Amino acid sequence: MNAPWFSFPDFFLSFAALLLEGIPFLLLGALGSAAVDLFLPEAWLRRLLGLGRGGGIAAGYLAGFLFPICECGALPIVMRLLRKGVPLPVAATYLFAAPLLNPFSIASTWFAFRSQNPWLWVVLRLFLGSLLILSLSLWISRRDTREILRPLMEEPPAAPIFSAGGEVMETPWRRRLRRTVRSVTDDFLAVLFFLVIGAAVAAFLNTSINRGWINALAQHALFGPVVAVGLAQTLSICSTTDAFIIAALPQFPMAAALAFLIAGPLFDLKLFWIYQALFTRFTVLQIWLRVTAGALLLCWLYSLL
């Protein structure tokens, strides 16, 4: 069953590895989502509502540093924050910022380039990535939420606390816990469904593309970043380890490697499916276009300096 360019066993090995890598982080995100639902004080949310557009985006950006989680885990938390009434620009900024800005991604970038001026790589990744995140957040903040979001799963209706005879059926705490468990489970399984599709597509491309084919284009000043962004988005590698991969492909010049490092965490094939748990497909395609165009523009500009 193996074509000369494709191996089913290799595909299943990569597919299973991507799933096992993603599921624990998705679960952490679901647990974070439950914690938000059960413990996040309403007063904090009211403060977020009062921050305005700029303040809200800044809050979402800072949360990316303070609550580290990779791209798979961020979505359940964002879905929960939106249901709790957090404005979309704040939640979306966190969604985009968390994979790129989290301390694990920063540390892995430093380690991967530790023999090649690592702080420069870290600073450039953070700076260029932050510009891209800011542009996405400003764009989202100007959009009508109803146009770009899929309908979020409805909260369960309130179950009766008292039976017909008047006796207490369940305590408010148990009722709240039941609602949270149901909602978080549904979020987890919904995002996992998209993770499975994304991991399958990424595993297919991961095992069928010969990386030697890209060598000639990789070194080109104009096409190098295009190839690097394409590679980042097809391989769908976790943002906490992608730096090791691009560091092992020295045919890419620095501008192209930076394009790989800022575009991949914000959008890849896996995220194309995962984002559809939250955004409409048209919006997801728009995010892809903006991430790709923005990363290329920034890195082409950098290469001119």
Partner 1 sequence: MPVRLQPLVEALALGTLGATLLHTVVSGQVKTLLHPMLQPLVAGGGVALLLAAVLHASLASPLGWSGAGVGRIGWKIARDFLVALAVAGAVAVAPGSFSSLALANRVADPSAVLKKVENDQAPPLQTDASGALKVETVDLLMAAEHPDTIQQMDGHRVRFIGQYLPGDAGNLKIVRFLMFCCAADAQPVSVGIKTPATLIIPSIDKMGWAEVAGTVHFPEDVPGKRLPVVTAEEIKPIPEPSDKYIY
Residues at the contact surface with partner 1, assessed by CB under 8 A? 2, 5-7, 9-10, 12-21, 23-25, 27, 31, 111-116, 154-157, 159, 174, 177-178, 181-182, 185-186, 189-190, 192-193, 196, 200, 202-203, 206-212, 235, 237-238, 240-241, 244-245, 247-251
36 vs 136 by CB, closer to partner 1: 36
Beta carbon of residue 161, minimum distance to partner 1 (angstroms, whole number) = 13
Minimal distance in Å, beta carbon 124 to partner 1?
18
Degrees (nearest 5) of the Cα angle 150, 266, 151?
Answer: 5
Binning the chain into helix, strand and coil, the percentages to the nearest 5 are: 75, 0, 25
Kind and range of the H or E run holding 198: helix 172-208
In the bound complex, what is the minimum distance in angstroms from residue 81's beta carbon to partner 1? 21
Q: Is 252 helix (H, G, I), strand (E, B) or coil?
A: coil
Region for residue 7 given its phi and psi (left: phi exceeds 0; alpha: psi -120 to 50; beta: otherwise):
beta
Question: With respect to partner 1, which residue has the nearer C-beta, 19 or 58?
Answer: 19
Residue 149, classed as helix, strand or coil, is strand
Q: Measured from the CB atom, is 39 or 173 closer to partner 1?
A: 173
Closer to partner 1 at the Cβ: 31 or 131? Answer: 31
Question: Minimum distance from CB of 48 to partner 1 (Å)?
Answer: 27
Separation of alpha carbons 73 and 58, rounded Å = 21
Q: How far is the CB of 181 from partner 1 (least distance, A)?
A: 5
Q: Which lies closer to partner 1 via its Cβ, residue 12 or residue 44? A: 12
User: Any bridge partners for residue 149, and if so which?
Assistant: 279
Q: How far apart are CA 119 and CA 59, in angstroms?
A: 25
